[in-house]
Structure formats: C-alpha cells, structure tokens
A and B are shown apart, each in its own frame.
Chain A
Amino acid sequence: DIVMTQSPDSLAVSLGERATINCKSSQSILYSSNNKNYLAWYQQKAGQPPKLLIYWASTRESGVPDRFSGSGSGTDFTLTITSLQAEDVAVYYCQQYFSTPFTFGPGTTVHIK
C-alpha cells in the first residue's frame, strides 16, 4: 500500500494569513503516461463528511474558492490556503488514487490563531 503522511499535525494561522499543509507519499504517484499526479485534497469540518477541494494535485473542484491551491509532483505535495478565513477551520486530508487500496493521510487540523 502507498503510505501518505502529512505535516504538520495541526497549525494555527491568523485570519488573512497563509496556511501551508504538506503531504508526502511513500512512492511516486506521478503517472508517466499522462504526466499527472494522482492526488486529491479534502476538507472536513466538524460533524460533516469530507469535501473534495482539489484533484490531479492542483485542479480545483468546481465551486472551491481560489484561495485554495495545490502544488507538487512525484512524492511531495502542498495545499496552500492564502488569506485564511474563519470558515476554513477544518481538518485537511490528502489522498492518493494512483493504486488501490486508495489511501489517505492522517489529516492536518487548521485553527485560527
């Protein structure tokens, strides 16, 4: 199985400031034939199911604010929230869909400082 790790476990960011979450896969999830990274990011607010933010490592899902962006390739990826809003308080998960069983990172909790 591909193991996904995230850092930090949690972070506190002031409103309007940038939040950066890192995700690492135990093997490359870049598919050479299409040059795409098989990585998604999800946001989970308290008491709710996760919500898709980004797929293909950097493609925003329809309706997701553009303050959310994804980057990275191969084994190292980043989710950036520019100008953090109060409604962004949540746990963020990365997930690889390169090979089954699809696996998730342990999550990063974002708080307001």
Chain B
Amino acid sequence: QVQLRQWGAGLLKPSETMSLTCAVYGGTFSDYYWTWIRQSPGKGLEWIGEINHSGSSTYNPSLKNRVAISVDTSKNQFSLRLTSLTAADTAVYYCTRATVDTLATGARWVDNWGQGTLVTVSS
C-alpha cells in the first residue's frame, strides 16, 4: 500500500517562491510517474506537471517558466517549486502517483494522491 506524505509552507506572500516536497512510502519508485495537481475553487483541478525517476519532466504550459519539479531517488521523494506567486496560485496542492500502462503505450493515470497542502498567497 503506497503512501504519499507531503509538506511545505502554507502561507506565502506575492512574488515569493513555493516549495513542496512529497515522500513516497511503498512500491517501486522507478515504476511510476510522479505528478503535482492543484485544486482551487476558481479553476478546479489543474495538472501542474510530472516527472519520472530519471528526471524527465513535463509541465503545464499555463505555468510557463515558473514551475520546476525535481526528484531525489535516494530518498524516494519529489518536489515542486513555483516562483513569482500571485493570489491566483492559492490552492490545495496534491502530490500524486501515476501508474504507467504495462503495455508500454506511455499512457499513465493518477492512482494515488497525497493528503494535500493548502497554500495561500496573500500579502
């Protein structure tokens, strides 16, 4: 049974940088993709980006050059960094695991979620 435990600062000011980290317990870390998803009342669920164990990442273009996801395979952890925060970034941020299709199609779907971290951006 996999568990994803996440942590990071919950209250930030505009223009600051948000950093969240997620630790994975259980399962084989290298078998999955690791993603960040956020949820806000105004925009619903938004996929932020993903990374695999080798560090290959893909991001949502809506976040332009503000986002970076990194991975530490020695600790089975991955992290999210979002810069130049505005009030629009206020949301619950979830770290998630995506299962990769065993038939090597490249398809992957989120099958496990962390508990979520409320990040509020306010002056």
Residue numbers of A with Cβ under 8 A of B are 31, 33-34, 36, 38, 40, 42, 49-52, 55, 61, 93, 95, 97, 100-107
B60 near A101: Cβ-Cβ < 8 Å: yes
Q: Report A69 CB to chain B, min CB distance, Å.
A: 17
Closest to A47 in B: B116
A101 near B62: Cβ-Cβ < 8 Å: yes
Closest to B114 in A: A49
The residues in B between 72 and 123 inclusive whose CB is less than 8 angstroms from any CB of A are 94, 103, 105, 107-116
Q: Report B113 CB to chain A, min CB distance, Å.
A: 4
DSSP majority for the B interface? strand
Residue numbers of B with Cβ under 8 A of A are 44-47, 50, 58-62, 94, 103, 105, 107-116
A101 near B110: Cβ-Cβ < 8 Å: no
Q: Report A108 CB to chain B, min CB distance, Å.
A: 12
Closest to B61 in A: A101
CA distance A102 to B48 in the complex (A): 9
